[in-house]
Structure 1
Amino acid sequence: MSVSLETGLRTGEVIGLTWDAIDWEKRTLTVNKTLEYRHKQAFWRADPPKTQQSYRTIPLTNRAYEILQSVELSRAYRKESPMLSQTLEYIDRRTGVKSQLIMRDLGFINFQTGMPNKNSSYDAHLYKLCDEAGIKRFCMHALRHTYATRAIESGMQSKVLQKLLGHASIKTTMDRYVHVTDDSMANAVRQFESYQSA
């Protein structure tokens, strides 16, 4: 979950993240596939990212880098289900070439079962945390919205945010993902006011 807050990745992008997508030297993460569990059909499905623009390489924050590094260091000790011996195939949207997702190379798996994390298990865990904190429930996708809002509040250019989120349209980024808070409005007015008096 913390990785989503630090990168803005979609849930399927987090679930489908494999170690070969991380460049430890450059401190980047490349989004080139997704993974989801299809409950009705009861099987795992690998896919290319949502759109052409969803293929992207994201510079990692120090926090994201530390999280990924700690998960990678614990990899040798994690429980692994026989399901991780599977290799899933999908068609790369950019090239039309058949590609593979090797389940054993997944970055995030359930530490209790050794299975890949299902989309719904992230939401269920978040709901439990919300209930314990006595706040209104929200889902994993809300973390992507939070990332976008905090990025704009920190001064990130909207076109840069669009690229980081993998959106085809700046309108999607700004209208659906960036939410103006009372604090950000007050800060913007103070900033405007100080500019006017300079």
Structure 2
Amino acid sequence: MTAIRKRRAGVEDRWTRTVRQSDGTTKTEPSTNHGKGSRWRARYVDIDGREHEKLFPRKVDAQTWLDNQISDQVTGMWTDPAKSGVTFGTLAERWLGTKATRSPKTVAGYRSILDTIVLPRWRDVPLRDVRYEDLQVWVTGLSADGSVRFEGKGLSASRVRQTHQLIGAVLKFAVRAKHLPANVADGMDLPRLPETEQGYLTHDQLHRVAVASGRLRTLVLLLGYCGLRFGEAAALQVADVDVTARRIRVRRSVTYVRKTGLVEGPTKNHSSRTVPVPTFVARLLATEIGDREGSALVFTSARGGGYLTLGQARYTFQKATAVVDGCDGVRLHDLRHTCASLAISSGANVKVVQRLLGHKTAVLTLDRYGHLFPDDLDAVADAFDAAAEATAGGLRAVVS
């Protein structure tokens, strides 16, 4: 077992040595290293018992470096020089290995961003050489020039932000593992996300699009009135639907994973929820289900059963919206927005809408649909007018 070195630090002169004389006195004389290399050696033993050293031509420089190392250890900012020499690519793979518990789609997304955008530029760069200035210039350039693999084709604002978020996560992992003293990805300027126009169908439009969707009529109405994500609807099993109580238990979701195919897993927020079903939709679901077993899928692919894919549903939905007035260009995901809009217009409060859609917090619901809730601005202004008039009347009475 290797003995752990005791904590110590100091600066020594490599060109001289102290020799004890026979009479007990000491004198300084040239060492075997005299005139060779840098004269001053600063060294210290770190918190793990490992010794580090660095040579300097001037004593003052050696002492300054040593003082900084000791100070960083005291303040918790110290990092092992050997660890900071690890390449970004090596640490990124270690970081990705810690995400095994994430959903397959999430991990595949990380893998794609690393392979196509990040690693071609930063794979072989030591962590200590990843500098804020270089990283900021590169991130900004992604919007105009793209990555090494997609040179000349600028990335979307969303993709640039995803890339920055991933790099920041890797560097945060490096800081916590004592490879770096700070995360240089913090505080960077990022492109703004463009405002996306959300589509909302009226009750009449929703029913017309559903009828035009043919065999997917029930699915369209379910998405528009129950607020399920498409992956949640595609994973619905007969046992999840209670047509008598008019309730659906949303417990799982199915999604496409690159190089893997369709994968079933938990919902987006890893939590189940129960949503209400309008009577007319429940009747359609009862017809859709028939006498099938509880483990059977409610909605299946027209190509020999199995999961209904997003591509198949989008194709049918786009054909349907194209023939209904005012609906051309509405996306399948807009049915979820439609559910929120119709629920709010019927008087549902924010907490009800949150539970219906399966949002993690009511804040998210308000951020996305707050503009749809009726406001009391006119009522507030009218109240101010009434108060001001009453005050003015009282003052006139006092004066008179």
Task: Please give the alpha-carbon distance, in whole angstroms, between the structure 2 residues aligned to 1:178 and 1:144.
Answer: 15
1:120 is displaced (CA, Å) by 1.8
Task: Please give the alpha-carbon distance, in whole angstroms, between the structure 1 residues aligned to 2:316 and 2:371.
Answer: 24
Contact 2:243 2:283 (8 Å CA) reproduced: no
The code of the aligned residue for 1:4 comes to L
Task: Please give the alpha-carbon distance, in whole angstroms, between the structure 2 residues aligned to 1:171 and 1:67.
Answer: 34
The code of the aligned residue for 2:320 comes to L
Task: Please give the alpha-carbon distance, in whole angstroms, between the structure 2 residues aligned to 1:45 and 1:6.
Answer: 26
In structure 2, the residue matched to 1:86 is: none
Normalising by the residue count of structure 1, what TM-score does the alignment of the two structures yield? 0.69
The code of the aligned residue for 1:63 comes to F
In structure 2, the residue matched to 1:138 is: 330
1:119 aligned to which of 303, 310, 326: 310
In structure 1, the residue matched to 2:226 is: 7
Contact 1:152 1:178 (8 Å CA) reproduced: no
Paired residues, number: 162
Task: Please give the alpha-carbon distance, in whole angstroms, between the structure 2 residues aligned to 1:189 and 1:123.
Answer: 40
The code of the aligned residue for 2:340 comes to A
Corresponding position: 1:109 with 2:300: yes
Larger RCO, structures 1/2 (Cα 8 Å, 6+ apart): 1
Alpha-carbon distance change, 66 to 178 in structure 1, aligned in 2, over 3 angstroms: farther
1:71 aligned to which of 263, 277, 288: 288
Contact 1:8 1:165 (8 Å CA) reproduced: yes
Alpha-carbon distance change, 25 to 124 in structure 1, aligned in 2, over 3 angstroms: same
Secondary structure of the 1:133 match is: coil
Task: Give the percent of matched residue pairs that are identical in Structure 1 and Structure 2.
Answer: 28
Task: Please give the alpha-carbon distance, in whole angstroms, between the structure 2 residues aligned to 1:178 and 1:2.
Answer: 24
Structure possessing the higher radius of gyration over alpha carbons: 2
In structure 2, the residue matched to 1:43 is: 261
Task: Please give the alpha-carbon distance, in whole angstroms, between the structure 2 residues aligned to 1:124 and 1:179.
Answer: 30
1:116 is displaced (CA, Å) by 2.0
Moved over 4 A (4+): none
Alpha-carbon distance change, 120 to 74 in structure 1, aligned in 2, over 3 angstroms: farther
1:110 is displaced (CA, Å) by 2.7
> 1:16-35 alignment to 2 at 5 Å?
16-35=235-254
Task: Please give the alpha-carbon distance, in whole angstroms, between the structure 2 residues aligned to 1:177 and 1:189.
Answer: 17
Structure 2 unaligned spans of 5+: 1-219, 384-400
Deviations 1:118-160 (A, max 9, x none): 0122112121122233643122210000100110111011111
Secondary structure of the 2:372 match is: coil
Normalising by the residue count of structure 2, what TM-score does the alignment of the two structures yield? 0.36
